[in-house]
Structure 1
Amino acid sequence: MANFSVVLWAAIPPLLLLGYYYRRVQFPPSLLRLLLLFIFGAISGFAALKLELVFENVANSVVNWRRLQYSLFGIALRQFVEIGPIEEGCKLVAVVVPTSYLQRKYELRPSSIFLFSIAVGLGFTAQENWIYLFHDTASIFNRVIGTPVHALFSAPWGYALGIYISSRMRLHRYRKLIPKAWINSVICHSLVNVLSSAWGYSAPISFLSYSLFPFLLWMFWRLEQLLRRVQGKPPIVLISGNTPKHRYWQWGLVLFALMLGGNAIFGLFLLVDDLSPLSPSQLLYPDVLWFILRCFLLNSMFGVLAWVIYRYLRYSARRRYFTCN
């Protein structure tokens, strides 16, 4: 029964997020195909785990690969050389193989292929969740928070693959997008893992962790923009200045909003993490209640300010568009 509970906690959050994106695509593929891609994503997770073990055994016979992991440089080297390429490669294969088969029988839309990449990424997450929860190396809350990350990593090459495979004339410029987008995914994947590892080090290295959630927030924004593109919708414009000075000002506001919004989410995440060991009765202590209220209000204020900046930039872009037309 305990194992069944672990499977449910591992699979349900990714499946719910997959359902959310399935509902948002105007002409989605069949739900059965999407669930099959989800399963292929989980299988690709086990394949990636096996390949990583083989890689580490071979690398450890050449250099002291495990000892390198004691430093942030060693962690970064492992992420960029081993983890990122292997995991993104396995996910890419898990999308390409069934998509190539389906494309021979059906004319797939770019949005369908992009959704396939999200499904595979979430299936990979479900497999990863099961590994962490089964071995009790992460909490349920930590894994739920990390549910979207593999879908965020896969978004660039999922978009490039969708544009190339669904195009009537498979132009060379579309094909060249795929390796570039895959490398982009590997870099983002590796960078997120490095930033999340920085939290375990002393200052000033630990300060790198404060850029993790802003970076994840930017990747979520990128996924949303790519989702609009594959459905033929215009992108949401935030940078609309006519002069370089005005555009630099808007870029600064975007970065400021990402820092505020990302660290507001990070602050709430840390709050829940700090409170998780406490019993329900301990949460009612006056000091604890004051701590919860103070942290919640502070992070909410940062989040609201980031939202106000975002709405201001969108309003400025719309006003400029209607003024010019």
Structure 2
Amino acid sequence: MTQPAIAVTGLRKAYGDKVVLDGIDLRVARGTIFSLLGPNGAGKTTMVKILSTLLAADGGEMRVAGHGPARDADAVRAAIGVTGQYSAVDNLLTGRENLALMGDLHHLGRRASRRRADELLERFDLVEAGRKPASAYSGGMRRRLDLAMTLVGDPEVIFLDEPTTGLDPRSRRTMWKTIRDLVAGGVTIFLTTQYLEEADQLADRIAVLDGGRLIAEGTADELKRLIPGGHILLRFTDPAAVSTAVHALADAALGEDGLSLRVPSDGGVRSMRDLFARLDDLSIDVAEMSVHTPDLDDVFLTLTGRNDLEPQR
């Protein structure tokens, strides 16, 4: 089997009597986006700091890009990139100078650093802005430059800690495209975010952290199916078909228009297949069908009983 990009077993961290991470187990497959959700102060940033060698764990086993953060921190640092909540851009330098400085820190050599800077300015549509001081950049441009700086060392794994906080919707979607492009190129992304739609749009797998523990993990669709309230809406054109369906589906609720039925469902393939098999056996024709499942807001509220995440609007 392919070795995971990140493997964590029994990760623990406490500050005095306050337990922040209480026996965390997780696996992140290579070339995927893994998103960690949780209330404010849940320990998301602490986990990123531990996995990126910036903070020591109290216990547990970890492998990042095949290396142990505690035993082989230099190898981990060589394989990862980190874009934190707050920009690491130097406002006094131009965009190109910021990138070239990162190249120097990675010991690329002067010529290679400048060449890499030019490649990344082109990739992130910052060629013209690259000649201007970073203090003149918009929020979206600064985040793109920040991520470009993370890529100077060509990392295998990138930790993105709330990368789109404060960005307008257009800049946020531009960042989403950039993240998808990175993963298409084989990079693994470990994403923490306050925006539920961001996790829904980007993540291959999502974990919910609360009270120091992972209380749920799965794809966005799998998590949504954990929460009651999902249903399939059936619409009919023939009142007789509606009447037959109502009697056949004891758990269905008739709509106010008299031509629609709301059937409880988790939205899974099996439940949909079973429903349509029942309708087909009775020769009931359905004019239109739509699936409605809870969103990640519902998942977060139900699993944690809190509303500390900020839904994107």
TM-score in terms of structure 1 length: 0.28
TM-score in terms of structure 2 length: 0.29
* Structure label with greater radius of gyration: 2
Structure with greater helix percent: 1
Structure with greater strand percent: 2
